[in-house]
Amino acid sequence: MKLLSRIVLVTPSLADANNGNWQTARRWARMLGQAYRVRLATEWTGRGDDDGDDLLIALHARRSAASIARWKARRPDAPVVVVLTGTDLYRDIEHDREAQAALARADRLVVLNALGTNSLPVALRAKVDVVLQSTTTRRPLVKSDRRLRTVTVGHLRDEKSPQTLFDAARLLADRTDLHFDHIGAALDPAIGARALALTTECPRYRWLGGRTHTETRARIQRAHALVHPSRIEGGAHVVIEALRSGTAVVASRIDGNVGLLGDDYAGYFPVGDAHALAAALVRLRDDPAMLPFLQRQCAARSDAFAPAREAATLHALIALAIGATNSRARP
């Protein structure tokens, strides 16, 4: 096999999507660009510019399945790394044949939280790497003690369980000291309509729509807590941004969150349970020890998501992928 020089990173989401997959793709392209020529694409066709690629990294097993199949059909000895999203791990690989085929074709599989491997068939676990995503640190801010401001970040779709947030906001509508900011475009128009209606019903709930990554990070930094109610999550970058900004996290207890925050984290609530979320926020506001306690737990986890650590893990897994394919290619 010739010396690796060019990597194509296939992602269904590019800059216009403004989501976690795009942030991952952009960051990995930058990190790997220190050693390789890296380009981003929404698919791999095997034609034109694709002809010079040496290694494929595919984000999303199901949505990139056609690119993975073409790659292995045309160059069976060239390495493929498949990065599993939340919908891959916790939904699609159970029943979608294309997603299952993508896993089988991969030389290495990547999960983005420490518990992700548990959702894969035992036969595939030997080729799995855990890559914890990263972000830069931000200085924790001094925040007002007159109110508790939360922020929820995620495009409005069922997987993010926005209804849990809506219901909790209604339950807490009489608490003038609890404020809710909600960032995300309405990928599901019906959910967007409910969010818009809630802004009138609950004056301290604000749906801010889609915002730039820069503004979103600033709002996470200024909030007392990030509320993350997802029911499916592979390893949410917004949780990592909160950890690295001195902002507490209140999250659904699902593997994608526990695999980032740790089993002993005190800020969980059962997925879909608006009453439990409301109770957690009331305690965060009314118990003076609770917010500092969560902040300390988050600070203790922060170093696991340092950019240098992610970059080192990423380069090591590329070396493993190359080694695995070289071993197979030898007579």
Highest mean pLDDT among 2-11, 48-57, 85-94: 85-94
Give the model's confidence band at 321: pLDDT under 50 very low, under 70 low, under 90 confident, else very high. confident
CATH 3.40.50.2000 domain position(s) in the chain: 6-133+306-329, 148-305
pLDDT at 3 over 80: no
What are the tens digits of pLDDT across the range 294-313? 999 999 999 999 999 999 99
pLDDT at 267 over 80: yes
pLDDT at 173 over 90: yes
CA distance 58 to 11: 6
What are the tens digits of pLDDT across the range 274-286? 999 999 999 999 9
**Which region among 46-50, 209-213, 217-221 has the lowest average model confidence (pLDDT)?**
46-50
pLDDT at residue 328, as a whole number: 53
Bridge partners, 248 (sequence order): 225
pTM above 0.85, yes or no: yes
What are the tens digits of pLDDT across the range 145-170? 999 999 999 999 999 999 999 999 99
**How would you classify the pairing of strands 225-228 and 248-252?**
parallel
pLDDT at 21 over 90: no
Q: Where are the beta strands (DSSP E) in the chain?
A: 6-10, 37-41, 55-59, 80-83, 108-111, 128-130, 148-153, 178-183, 205-209, 225-228, 248-252, 268-269
CA distance 314 to 183: 30
Mean pLDDT of the chain: 93
Q: What is the number of alpha carbons within 13 Å of residue 18 lying toward its C-beta?
A: 19
Q: Alpha carbon 4 to chain centroid distance? A: 28
pLDDT at 330 over 50: no
Bridge partners, 179 (sequence order): 149
Residues 6+ positions from 31 with CB-CB distance below 8 Å: 307, 310, 311, 314, 315
pLDDT at residue 327, as a whole number: 52
Does domain 148-305 fall under CATH 3.40.50.2000? My reply is yes
What are the tens digits of pLDDT across the range 181-218? 999 999 999 999 999 999 999 999 999 999 999 999 99
Closest by Cα among 45, 111, 51, 52 to 81:
111
Does domain 6-133+306-329 fall under CATH 3.40.50.2000? My reply is yes
Task: Note the maximum CA span of the chain.
Answer: 73
- Where helices occur in 157-302 by DSSP H, the ranges are 162-171, 189-201, 213-222, 237-243, 255-261, 274-286, 290-301
